[in-house]
Structure 1
């Protein structure tokens, strides 16, 4: 069975990544591409690397006939998705890539995103889209909320450790580096080549980054008590990739064993042999996440390093993985592309 797919926000990086992945899917066909600012243009003109594909032209959302669409990916900016999704057909499955439906508590959403939620009824039914930990809920969902890319990376490193009571919950530090595509495609002065290249800088310092809301929500739910981590992201002069170095208080061997056991049967999560650490260059352009564990010179402390591609496993690949579950497809369909190296 071929599923008809629409992508809203197709002129952004995550939209283009969805097109690239779906092009290799055996049972999905893109029927509509929405992109208001570039409506009327061919996808090949906006993204020449996709010119070999037979794709519909970009149109406004209002021009799309959703009656024949089985599933819609929404790759729209934060605060835009909620108003659009609220008015989409209730019979259509939706995977949202924005932050609009990630947080379960409307008050928490308002705190971190600076405004009241405009689609509370949709927020209440949304399933959090960290596939490996919400797989069964995602299968039966109408609306799935994709995670933040930074939030996904940190959770893959930490969830099994919190669940297994293997680490001190008051001693968690996430030091994360991310590529510039995570900031989106819109023009920003600080993302100009001359401003960004040949350097790196921290941002969201002191507990101000919005993905902390996801860490708070998910880690506290696992532990059954409030968990607050220290988290500082850094922007790298690289197009893709996230690498998170996580410092924890716990026994390194037990931590490695727990991660290896948890992810043993997961197709996209690979735990490296003890003492080895991953690199962003080894997961680039793929839906894989690599995790390494090392001991520290201080006894009873460990370092967990996780790497994934922010546009793929951190966003569009995760979205397609969830869509496969929602549509009854093989979870790995369209996602087994090998990483691009060098």
Structure 2
């Protein structure tokens, strides 16, 4: 609270210069306070369908169809950003984005057609323009537009998990394994929850191909493609944080292993289709996606287990010779 003090004299005489300056300063402070307390509306991000059936992430719904707003948690918006138009569209169920550490988006094709099935991939960017306005788009700014804006990758999107595509041409028996990625996080989480680390690695490979910022069309997020509800239940605050995602995924696998008495096939089926569905059918449900997913996870699991056991044996032998 600013208090103006008058310096003597009667009310009939002109106010001293110091007093006038104080009043003007007080008025300026009050004016600034009013400006900074004005409500600011966040810019919305929408997931839409384009004219050719492609998935589009955009700030504007103009020219697109089937647009659903994506909730952005903890998204800081400039106070000077132009107010976005209010959308009547409801937030898409299950879609939730929480910003984590920025990461480079992998080089992925915009579309990959296999056996008549369109598999969409790409990245979504947050663009902060010079005037403070925010734009969300899956088209990376280039040229002059890029030079006058700050751009960061929010997440990369995939139509479905890596091993879920029924028409996938990947040779899962020979696809290169990733034995060193996130080694410490996987080892710690697997040990904490009593899960085979080779199973954790197989699930990561099957779900996201080790992309920590992957988001599927259904809203699954991160390395182990956790749905927002599952992530919350497992204590994951940022699904795009690799360590948190692995912790949550390993914890969830431990629960499934307990529910299905250590049956890896049923655990994989439940991870894909949900435990209730597996219990309903008393086994792997007769869904084409789930059936191929289970088969591929089991293949990856066997390969990772064999490779990791071999590496452990080599390391032990090396330690023995050193001793």
- Of structures 1 and 2, the one with the larger relative CO (CA 8 A, separation 6+) is 1
TM-score, length of structure 2 as denominator length: 0.26
The structure with the larger Rg is 2
